DNA sequence: AGATACCATCGATAAAAGCGATAGATCATG
DNA sequence: CATGATCTATCGCTTTTATCGATGGTATCT
């Protein structure tokens, strides 16, 4: 069972083609390098270097095993790097809970930036809306959430408005009766089925609004609207990107409206440095 | 600098969720496991396990580093596996020299079989014809070659006929004057430009046959023939696969003809076990 | 309460990793 | 051809480290 140090010595000697050079670079004595490689050859049962020349040259087997040894070292290097990050307080993974109100193109740019800055940290994205999302944050399952601004937040949750607001509008299928009208009043909406967001959490039992249908994500709501089952309030970007051809906005007064997206986190379980970076990156300029 | 053994102990303990269990499986004392993990935590600067419960449970950092540690171990496992293969006489890489006379679909099947049987061994394919190919074998650059049967082989080279022969025929471009004839005699070919194989090696200076053009591979010859520059003797499979729409065979008596493909290797530098397997696989049933 | 199984800690011992010194080998140079 | 420089292999010696058994504290189950 070869030790990591022996592999490092082997690689250094192979790369520089000299035991003495490797000893100098690794700040070890030449005898250590020599003995270490000799032991490694015994352990592996293969001659790594051809020592007939003045300087040792890799054998064919040595060349082949060099690649494997380097893989071991790079894997170990990643381990140490990750440990160093964790030791200095960085979280091993960051879970963010997303509402569909947040545009994915902005999110992708953000993810790319995050990956460049924190390549070691796992990033997990969860999809949830409203109370479900807040529950993810409260339970610690996610550290950061992006939600449409709520009328009130549970205690222990902190929030800050994200930099850019999001546009919402009311849509119906092109085949829906409302789609033909050139003028629609808000009161008329009650005559048709509403498609509303629901949540798995039902701590605050919502007043059941007539014969409405509901789903836990805007994407499912949009698919219901595309089916012609009713009208729904949806993020404009979602419709423009995935449902433009089969949906139509309603000409309501005051719509589309701009919705503030809040960044939410738990005060008890605050996000780590990477989460803080992501949060300030969202709320800042 | 964590040792491999420490990582193995860590992984074993993490997987089974118990230090004692890991000690039993690794045939070490419980104190060794305990101390080893404690040292690992000191080295990495991170708490790996939460010891408040009866059984230790991984911390978040521990979960994250567990994945890294497993990567180190699998890399080391590959290293040991490769070394074991080399120690028992297997070559680190096998270079085979191919003539275009050998059908690639059979070759791909063979490569798949080789990969399944010898996943550790690098397989290198070189393209060469005739004297060039034999030179690759003689020099030791390649260990195995597939060539159209030669009238004579250099001393020191052994050969055996491959199981399946290969068909060759004479082709011209559809725009070539010969393409219109319903009957062609061999002697008439001399009236038109021949496209012949040439080799980089010019040890045996071939008699320059009139105003012929030449190239070192059948693929290049075929492209010349497609350009309408003359007639060429080509492997049937090559034309059928890549040049069927622009080339046409000549109705010559005795053609197409079957050519034996020989497997060639050097008697001085015989191929290793994997090469022998490949060779017998080719010549056998 | 008792039995059991778990983890942490403490010396003691054996294995190894490391170093300096030395000797043999190879290459460049006068 | 002789010489100096530089390389690798090997030999003791010291120091570090890994491993063990024994012991004690603690949680879990009967």
Q: How confident is the model at residue A203 (pLDDT cuts 50, 70, 90)?
A: low
Cβ contacts, strand C, under 7 angstroms: A 3, 5-6, 27-32, 35-36, 39, 52-54; B 18-21, 30-31, 34-35, 37-38, 49, 51, 54-56
Close Cβ partners of A65 (under 8 Å, ≥ 6 residues apart): A44, A46, A48, B79, B82, B83, B86, B92
B48-78 pLDDT, tens digit each: 998 888 889 898 888 899 999 999 999 999 9
Mean pLDDT of chain B: 86
| pLDDT tens string A211-238 | 778 787 888 889 888 888 888 989 888 8
Q: Which of A179-193, B199-213, B217-231 is least confident?
A: B199-213
According to the model, what pLDDT value does residue A251 have? 84
Closest approach of chain A CAs to the CA of B102, in angstroms? 28
Contact at CB, A65 and B86, closer than 8 angstroms? yes
CB-facing half-sphere around the CA of A265: CA atoms within 13 A: 23
| Helix, strand, or coil (residue B186) | helix
Does pLDDT of B122 surpass 80?
A: yes
**Minimum distance, in Å, between the CA of residue A266 and any CA atom of chain B:** 18
Q: Which residues of B touch A8 (CB under 8 A)?
A: none
Using C1' positions and the CA of B36, the closest nucleotide is D18
User: Which tens digits make up the pLDDT trace of B3-33?
Assistant: 999 999 999 999 898 999 999 988 988 989 9
Residues of B in contact with A44 (CB under 8 A): 80, 83, 86-87
Mean of the per-residue pLDDT values of chain A:
85
Q: Give the closest-approach CA distance of B123 to chain A in angstroms.
A: 12
Closest CA-bearing residue to C1' of D22: B31
Above 60 in pLDDT, residue B206?
Answer: no
Report which of B249, B190, B200, B201 is spatially closest to residue B220, judged by C-alpha positions. B200
Give the model's pLDDT for residue B8: 92
Domains and CATH numbers, chain A: 4-87 (1.10.10.10), 93-164+260-283 (3.40.190.10), 166-257 (3.40.190.290)
What is the reported pLDDT for A208? 55
User: Picking from A68-82, A84-98, B177-191, which range would have the lowest pLDDT averaged per residue?
Assistant: B177-191
- pLDDT, residue A149, reads 84
pLDDT class for B203, splitting at 50, 70, 90?
low
Distance, angstroms, CA B8 to C1' D20? 19
Q: Are B33 and B22 in contact (CB under 8 A)?
A: yes
SS3 state of residue B123: strand
């Amino acid at each position: 069972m070869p030790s990591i140090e022996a592999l490092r010595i082997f690689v250094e000697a192979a790369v520089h083609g000299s035991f003495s050079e490797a000893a100098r670079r690794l700040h070890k004595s030449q005898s250590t390098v020599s003995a270490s490689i000799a032991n490694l050859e015994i352990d592996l049962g293969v001659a790594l270097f051809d020592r007939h020349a003045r300087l040792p040259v890799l054998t064919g087997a040595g060349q082949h095993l060099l690649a494997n040894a380097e893989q071991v070292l790079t894997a170990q290097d990643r381990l140490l790097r990750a440990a160093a990050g964790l030791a200095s307080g960085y979280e091993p993974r960051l879970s963010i809970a997303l509402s569909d109100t947040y545009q994915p193109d902005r999110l992708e740019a953000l993810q790319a930036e995050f990956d460049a800055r924190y390549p070691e940290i796992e990033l997990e994205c969860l999809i949830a809306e409203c109370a479900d999302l807040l529950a993810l944050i409260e339970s610690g399952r996610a550290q950061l959430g992006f939600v449409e601004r709520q009328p009130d937040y549970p205690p222990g949750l902190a929030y800050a408005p994200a930099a850019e607001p999001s546009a919402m509008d009311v849509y119906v299928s092109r085949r829906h009766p409302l789609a033909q009208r050139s003028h629609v009043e808000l009161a008329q909406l009650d005559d048709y089925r509403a498609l509303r967001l629901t949540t798995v959490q039902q701590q605050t039992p919502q007043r059941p609004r007539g014969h409405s249908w509901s789903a836990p994500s805007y994407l499912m709501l949009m698919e219901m609207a595309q089916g012609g089952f009713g009208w729904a309030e949806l993020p404009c970007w979602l419709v423009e990107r995935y449902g433009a051809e089969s949906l139509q906005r309603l000409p309501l007064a005051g719509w589309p409206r701009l919705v503030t997206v809040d960044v939410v986190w738990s005060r008890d379980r605050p996000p780590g440095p990477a989460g803080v970076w992501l949060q300030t990156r969202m709320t800042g300029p």
